[in-house]
A and B are shown apart, each in its own frame.
Chain A
Amino acid sequence: MTLKTEHFALNLGPVHPSTHGVFRLIATLDGEVIVDIEPVVGYLHRGIEKLAEGRTYKENIPFTDRLDYLAAMSNNLVYAMAVEKLAEIPVPERAEYLRVIMAELQRIASHLVGIGAFIQDLGAFGTPILYMWREREKILDLFDMVCGQRLHYNYMRFGGVSHDIPDEFLPALAKFVDRMPGFIDEYDQLLSENEIVLVRSKGVGILPKDLAINASTSGPVLRASGVKWDIRRADPYSIYNRFEFDIPICTGGDSYDRYWIRMKEMRQSIRIIKQAMEQLPKGKVLNKAPLRLRPPAGEVYTRIESPRGELGFYLVSDNSERPYRFHIRAPALINLTALRQMLIGWKLADAIIVFGSIDIVLGEVDR
């Protein structure tokens, strides 16, 4: 006698402790096994692209902070680079080095949150994430020293950065960079060989290489699937071609690899910061652009390697002081494209793990 079962739809609703924001996942379940999944986004849509068309270029810089609010320096950077390319504004050397230092510090901070939230979703009730936030506090204190803000920095300007670093910044940064590898070793020791982490995330939610390329994934998710593609190496922007760093890749494409890649990237970021600190020249930090900048008519697509993936800005200018089109290529949204194929056949508990390992930020997904 066959048992009659029926699938039921479960709403992992917008308000949920583990959806990293307001993200809705409508899962059709057969017992605990996921049969179908449909992501619903848009709960944090603020219309940034439309709002930006009504403001001058400089007034749009704070908007970019609020996109991916966990990696605001990267957003500032790519927008500043895009407008500088459009209006052909040169950037002084010292500003370039400062930008790299800030961007890499931001990468470490963002990965700390990403890994911490991932382990929190695994169920380790708070211990790993709080340990990582202890380090993140130090990074936020560094940012506070430079620009007075801990989350929405508004630091980069067209033609450089807004403030030079104070005197106490470099010693504090040196102290942080000295001690951080020890802390990463501590997390490694606690988490990477942990039986339960391994058994919950190894082999779970595999993203094969072909699908990863076809679904336009980027960032750590793409590198975890075996594609050696990092924009800092493939299409170097700013002064990244002066630094030596490795691009870690993993071949499995499962959730554990995505976690592992982020740990390794943190170490490489520290390497870059050390080199940038040594080579930091003296000089001014800003080639001041006019307040109401009128770039010549044209379009530009600039991209950087943000902690989530390839963050790109497509700007169209019609020689007025407001952008004609302000489009953001959001890596978090596009990394979600293959979510359905990654999740079907796994259990409900795995959905949260896989979703957490992609590490999205809703501000960027919804804009």
Chain B
Amino acid sequence: MIMFNPNSFGHLAALPPDWPGNFWLHLMAFTVIILAFVLITAIIFIWLERRGLGRLQIRLGPNRAGPFGLLQPLADVLKLLIKEDTVPTKADKLVFWLAPIVALAPVLMLFAVIPFQSGALLADLNIGILYVLAISSLASVGVFMAGWASNNKYSLIGAMRDVAMLISYEIPIVISIVGVILITGSLSLTEIVGAQESIPFILLQPLGFLIFFLGSLAESNRTPFDLVEADSEIVAGYHIEYSGMKYGTLMLTEYAEIIAISALVTTLFLGGWQGPLLPPILWFFIKVAAVFLLSVWIRGTIPRLRIDQVMAFAWKFLLPLALINLLVTSLQVVLWPEASLWLIVFLNLTVMAILILSWSRFFRLGGERIEV
């Protein structure tokens, strides 16, 4: 196992450049750039999702607005901007107005620490991962505010489900990342990307990747965990009463969240911006798009779970597996630091296969009928 020397990565630390107005101008300029990046990527990914889902469902997807429907997301944004902004009469006005902002802000803040290229990020925190995990929990506050302030039983049910789910899935996610941190020896995201020079962590930590990916799908309320906004039960959940740009903001939050998660998966498990031939920023984008398309594929294929099944999945399946993964990884790091990488890969893959096959045999998802 390779142990990385933090001192060798001094050149990756993003020092504020010698700009006039230096630190604060740099900060504001790059904040705007990141915001623009998120918005534009969200638009592209919305198009990707709608066409991708269409092809999975043997239909075309949007193809009227512009060639291949490329201008469709733009048309949607325009429509949302000029729509009437209705507020229910008995809604809690301040909370109703604040909720989309409170939902969007943490998700945007996530992008501050993700390395787009060697040395290209907003803030090279040496506690990068900790920052990410802390901020991503805040998104649920916005959702809950939206659900509560709408004065609508459906949104309340959706918001309650969301909070329960988010709290449950935090723990397996956190524990699954610790394996990566152990191998790298640092919490900083730039160093984690650097540590994947020889082999991406998806091979070294397959179980960690699986748990992190599934947990993040739950965090961002994508199928099969989209019961928060289940169309067929609670008719759009927490964003029932929203219209116009507030609704646009909530939708943007959802897509920004899945982009953030794809970016995190890319950084932690797929090697970030590294890759031969093409410029790094392009590699980063390709990997993010690949993870996103994987989640679109899952969305188009499987139905959704019920809330008690979702919780059972988190607590009884993901959490024990994450703990066992942590145990195995720490044993490898402590006892076998010099072992050949490919041996570790083979070992971890075997452990993952055995664990998943045997655990799913003993694991029951079903909730029974409750005596009333």
User: Quick check: do A and B touch in the complex, using CB within 8 A?
Assistant: yes
Interface residues, chain A, with chain B CB atoms under 8 Å away: 8, 10, 16-18, 30, 32-35, 119-127, 130-131, 134, 194, 196-197, 199-200, 202-203, 344-350, 352
On chain B, the number of residues with a Cβ less than 8 Å from chain A's Cβ atoms is: 37
Residues of B within 8 A of A352 (CB): 232-233
Q: Which of B223, B235, B369, B371 contacts A123 (CB 8 A)?
A: B223
Q: Please give 18 more A-B residue pairs, beta carbons under 8 A apart, in addition to A121-B232, A125-B300.
A: A10-B153, A10-B157, A16-B235, A17-B232, A17-B235, A35-B372, A123-B223, A123-B230, A126-B300, A131-B58, A194-B302, A196-B303, A199-B305, A344-B372, A345-B370, A348-B234, A349-B227, A352-B232
Instruction: Please state if A349 and B59 are interface contacts (CB–CB under 8 Å).
Output: no
The 4 A-B residue pairs whose C-beta atoms are closest, nearest first, are A123-B304, A122-B303, A124-B303, A18-B232
Instruction: Determine if A123 and B370 form an interchain contact, defined as CB atoms under 8 angstroms apart.
Output: no
- B53, B305, B370: which contacts A125 (Cβ < 8 A)? B53
Show the binding face of B for A, using Cβ within 8 Å. 53, 56-59, 153-154, 157, 223-224, 226-227, 230-235, 299-309, 365-372
Given contacts A196-B224, A200-B306, contact A348 B233 (CB under 8 A): yes
Question: What residues of B have a CB within 8 angstroms of the CB of A348 in the complex?
Answer: 157, 233-234
**Smallest CB separation, B95 vs chain A (Å):** 20
Q: How far is the CB of B18 from chain A (nearest CB, A)?
A: 52
By a CB distance below 8 angstroms, the chain B residues around A134 are: 58
A349 and B306 within 8 A (CB): yes
What is the interface of chain A mostly: helix, strand, loop, or mixed? mixed
**Contact (A203, B366) CB under 8 Å given A127-B56, A134-B58:** yes
- Find chain A residues with CB under 8 A from B154 CB: 10
Expressed in whole angstroms, the Cα–Cα distance for A196 and B157 within the complex equals: 22
- How many residue pairs at the A-B interface have CB separations less than 8 Å? 97
Q: Are B57 and A130 in contact (CB under 8 A)?
A: yes
Tell me, in angstroms, the Cα distance from A10 to B226 when the chains sit together.
Answer: 20
Q: Identify which of A33, A126, A127 contacts B370 (C-beta below 8 A).
A: A33
Inside 8 A of B58's CB, which chain A residues have their CB? 130-131, 134
- Determine the chain B residues whose CB is within 8 A of the CB of A196 once the complex forms: 224, 302-305
B52 to chain A, nearest CB (A): 12
Q: Can you name the residue of chain A whose Cβ is closest to the Cβ of B309?
A: A199
From the candidates A17, A34, A130, A202, name the one contacting B231 in the complex (CB within 8 A). A17
Q: Closest residue of chain A to B164, judged by CB?
A: A32
Q: Find the A residue at minimum CB distance from B236.
A: A17
Chain B residue, CB-CB nearest to A351: B233
Contact residues of B: prevailing secondary structure = loop
A134 to B305, CA, bound (A): 26
Cross-chain contact B57 with A123 (CB below 8 angstroms): no
Query: In the complex, what residues of B have CB within 8 A of residue A18's CB?
Result: 231-233
Q: Which residues of B contact A200 (CB under 8 A)?
A: 303, 305-306, 309
Q: Who on chain B is nearest to A34 by CB?
A: B372
**Contact: A349 with B370, CB < 8 Å?**
no
* Chain B hits for A349, CB < 8 A: 227, 230, 233, 306-307
Set of chain A residues within 8 Å of B224, measured between Cβ atoms: 123, 196
Residue in contact with B227 in the complex, picked from A17, A123, A125, CB distance below 8 Å: A123
Cα distance A293–B350 in the bound complex, in angstroms: 78
Given contacts A127-B56, A196-B305, A200-B305, contact A345 B369 (CB under 8 A): yes
Residue of B nearest to A206 (CB): B369
Complex Cα gap A30–B226 (Å): 22
A131 to B307, CA, bound (A): 27
Residues of A within 8 A of B368 (CB): 203
- Chain B residue numbers with a CB within 8 Å of A34 are 372
Give the residues in chain A near B369, CB-CB below 8 Å.
Answer: 345-346
Which listed residue (A33, A121, A123, A131) contacts B226, Cβ 8 A? A123
Please name 20 pairs of A and B residues whose Cβ atoms are closer than 8 Å in the assembled complex, sorted by A. Answer: A10-B154, A17-B232, A18-B233, A32-B307, A34-B372, A35-B372, A120-B232, A122-B304, A125-B300, A126-B53, A127-B300, A194-B302, A194-B303, A196-B224, A196-B303, A200-B303, A202-B366, A345-B369, A352-B232, A352-B233
- Cα A127 to Cα B153 in complex, Å, equals 29
Query: Which of chain A's residues have a CB closer than 8 A to the CB of B305?
Result: 196, 199-200
Contacts of A121 in B (CB 8 A): 232
A residues in contact with B304, CB < 8 Å = 122-124, 196
Contact B302 A345 (CB under 8 A): no
User: How far, in whole Å, are A134 and B308 apart by their CA atoms in the complex?
Assistant: 34
Write the nearest CB–CB distance from B84 to chain A, whole angstroms: 20
- A124 interface neighbour in B235, B302, B309, Cβ under 8 Å: B302
Q: In the complex, A32 Cα to B308 Cα: how many Å? A: 10
CA distance A346 to B309 in the complex (A): 13
CB of B168 to closest CB in A, whole Å: 15
List chain A residues, Cβ under 8 A from B365: 199
A10 CB contacts on chain B under 8 angstroms = 153-154, 157
List the B side residues contacting A124 at CB < 8 Å: 301-304
